[in-house]
Structures are given as structure tokens and as C-alpha cells.
Amino acid sequence: MTRTAYVFPGQGSQYVGMGRDFFENFTLASEMYEKANSILGYELSAICFQGPEETLKETRYTQPALYIHSMIVATLLKEKGIQAAAVAGHSLGEFSALGVAGAYDFGVGLKLVHERGTLMHNAADACQGSMAAIIGLDAEVVIGLCREAQPKGMVQAANFNSPGQVVISGSVEGVERAIALARNEGAKRALKLPVSGAFHSPLMQPAAEQFYKVLDPMTFSDPRIPVYANVTAQAYTSGAEIPDLLCRQLTHSVRWIETIENMVTNGITRFIEVGPGKVLAGLIKRINKEVEIISAGTVEDIESIR
């Protein structure tokens, strides 16, 4: 029996034009974009559909753009009768996962994502950092190289994405030193990512502290289906955990490999990537070759899923 999980992408999956096909073909989508424009106080739909790319790539715009796209796709999948038995999201995608699981409504989630993106944008401006992808080395080796690079500057493993792919994050000097060490160690690739902030590292602590002030007074519902958290790779036990886990996510590693492995162990046999791009589909293929993986980022994709 097929048990389906929705997985939601994070930053890096956005592209100019994303969501336009949904806006033009579904009243539900156009209404959600209009609601988002009203809540945010600017034309998010115009940034998504027309760009420019440099604007869409800014964290404060990227995050709401990905959130609304994923929420539209998830709603259409549900309307089609394709229900999720569990959900997870990569970094920002965890907010979509919690929304789909009923922890909060669409508007609350959008406001949280907007706040998170703005705080991360400001933290990145205040303390310039860097991230890099290390390909072809075991995770433990990369962790050791980050430790060895520490005298040059703070750097840590930020995303355990798939076997042989770890993203590191930290100060510019720390990341550059870790890249050099990785190349000497025989990494297939070690390259900087086009981001301005050291996401999922202690350099995001100012953003985490401010975000906790936003989240702590709020009341969240218990998720109706299992939502796997980035920082634990385990399902939330209650809505009361949300402030702590979402704030820790800003400064801690995304344990994506463990998350997918735990979902498979708990009976998931099919993953649907709910949102733009196919980044997560590629990662999951490298984590587990036995499960079914489907990308659902366009109207055409939705229509083809059974």
C-alpha cells in the first residue's frame, strides 16, 4: 500500500515566473496570491511572475514566494484526493509542512515566513557570512574539516542533504578555509553558494532571538499528521514545540538524510515534492533508491499525478 509524504523545498528552488500557471488556471491560486499581497503590503505576485531575479533572490522575498507556491500546490493536491500521511520541509519548507498539517492557517504562516525572511536578511547584512557545498566527502570528514578550519573563522555543517553532499556555513574566512581543506582532502567539488548569509549557523543567532520573541507568545495547534523537524529529524509531538524547534532551525543543521530515512522507516513509500523545482527529488533519489519520487511544481505536474 502506498503511503505518501509531501516534502517542501527551501531557498534555491525559486525562479522568475514561478506560480504564474497556477494563478492563470485556478481561482483558488489567484485568490491566495491576492490575499498574500494584501497581508504583506506589496505585490508578491509581481515579484514571483516578473522578477527581476535579483529581487526574487532576496531572502525577505524568496521565503514568502516559496511558501505561497507550496501552499497552493498542496491545496490542489488535497482537492484532487492525494492526501499526505506525513510531511517535512527543507529549512523554510518546514513552515509549509506545518501549515499543511494544520498547526496554523495560511495567513499566520505567511506572516511568520515574512518575519523570518526579514530577520535573516537583516542578520546577513549585519554580519556577512558565506555558505558552500562540499560534494564527494563523507559527512564525518566534512565535520572534521570544519573543526580544523575554526581558527580562521566560525564554520559548521549546515545541511546534511544526501550521502556525499554537505553544505557548510559560517564566516567568509572560515568557509574559505574549509573549502581549501576539502579540496585537499579530495572532494569532487567544493564551491561557494550564491547567498549572502551564513544560514543554519551561529551567525543567525540575532535572528533566532528576535524570531523567538515573535513565536513565543503565540498558540499553535497540534499537527494533524506527523511533521518531521529539521533539527531533530523526528516528528513534532505537539504544537507547543513549534517556537523552540523553528528558532533552533536558524542556527542548527538541517538533518535531511535522517529525516527521509526516518520517514521511510515509518512507512512512507512515495514522496511528492510540493513546490517549485526538483531539488528535493534529486536528494531523495540519492538517499533511497527504492521509494517513488514525484515533483509537483507546475499545473502540468499536478494533472499527471494519480
Catalytic sites, residue numbers: 91, 200
Closest CA to 55 of 47, 66, 44: 47
Q: What is the DSSP pairing of strand 292-296 with strand 270-274?
A: parallel
- For the chain, the distance separating the N- and C-terminal CA atoms, rounded to the nearest angstrom, is 14
Residue 223's SS3 state is coil
Rounded Cα gap, residues 242 and 248, in angstroms: 10
Rounded Cα gap, residues 116 and 94, in angstroms: 12
Q: Where are the beta strands (DSSP E) in 120-267?
A: 129-135, 155-162, 165-171, 189-192, 227-228
Closest CA to 156 of 187, 177, 185: 177
**Cβ proximity of 231 and 248 under 8 Å:** yes
DSSP element (H, E) containing 249: helix 242-251
Rounded Cα gap, residues 86 and 263, in angstroms: 8
**Cβ proximity of 123 and 197 under 8 Å:** yes
DSSP 11-57: TT---TTTTHHHHHH-HHHHHHHHHHHHHHTS-HHHHHHH--HHHHT
Neighbours of 135 (CB within 10 A): 16
Residue 288's SS3 state is coil
Measured torsion, CA atoms of residues 281, 287, 289, 291, in degrees rounded to the nearest 10? -60
